[in-house]
Amino acid sequence: MTTPAGTAASAPASTPTTTLPGGTWTMGGLTVTRFGYGAMQLTGPGVTGPPADPDGALAVLREAVRLGITHIDTADAYGPHVTNRLIREALHPYPDGLHVVTKVGAVRDAQGGWPVAREPDDLRRAVHSNLENLGVESLDLVNLRLGDAEGPQPGSLARAYETLAGLQQEGLIRHLGLSNVTAEQVAEAEGIAPFVCVQNLYNLAHRGDDDLVDRLAARGIAYVPFFPLGGFSPLQSSELSAVAARYGVRPMAVALAWLLHRSPNILLIPGTSSVAHLRENITGAGLALSGQDLTRLDAIGR
């Protein structure tokens, strides 16, 4: 992160206290741990308002960095503004090597909805709001969020993506990414400006992006699944439960481990508001699955 000059150091040290599963991946010039952290769950119910336990939220963020995580995913729409301000309070000035990834393209309304906000002025406001609330002069990586709550929707991304590319040229953004997009929109973006990651819905049971994962891996582009554990509807599968029982772990541990096995370009950002659950996710993602069990799991979403 690029922080304003002259800020006194107070953030936790970035020296990891454990080895995270999956190693690292480089997105453009950003080398991050493949096991990251998604901050969405640090808000109140429905991703709205402050957390019930603000001190606990700060503790999760600090523990994530203490454990060596260098990839934190957020959005200024979470809360709104809640997660970014918590990240700043917990971690600013940011340790060397820590990268905070945000997204723009939607805002929150009074009813808790996520209305589209992709006009050039909307995107400029969103970028500047992220800069202010995170307390930085430039953003490491900004994902353009398309589609809606139902998933990716067809249509050109050119106008919105060109706006972000312009903000990148101004030095406000280091790298670009895409979120909630179709394969056709990915192809369209390739002709406009380079991007370093795609963030879409993908997990053991939702495998519609299998071909896209492989195509991006061949090009050295990261794929970041949101809702890696199913999101608001946790993954349920008799086969998943059976595999988990054989290893003596919870099914969600197997689901995370499977994602890291699936492809080296997959980066995990599971969210939690609990330090204990954060540690549990890390342990689960490091589970070594047998070839036979990987074959069984591969069949779940196909």
Enzyme catalytic residues: 78
CA dist 222 and 143 (Å) reads: 12
What are the residues facing 79 on neighbouring strands? Answer: 48
Run of H or E including 122: helix 120-134
Closest by Cα among 215, 272, 132, 58 to 200? 215
Instruction: Let me know: does 13 contact 93? Beta carbons within 8 Å.
Output: no
Map 126-177 to HEC letters: HHHHHHHHHCCCEEEEEEEECCECCECCCCCCHHHHHHHHHHHHCCCEEEEE
Cis peptide before 93 (omega within 30 of 0): yes
Write the Ramachandran bin of 131: left for phi over 0, alpha for psi from -120 to 50, otherwise beta: alpha
What torsion do the CA atoms of 76, 77, 79, 83 make, to the nearest 10 degrees? -30
CA dist 292 and 289 (Å) reads: 8
Tell me which DSSP letter residue 97 carries. T
To which residue do tokens 């199913």 refer?
230
Q: Which residues contact 20 (CB under 8 A, 6 or more apart)?
A: 33, 34, 35, 67, 68, 69, 282, 286
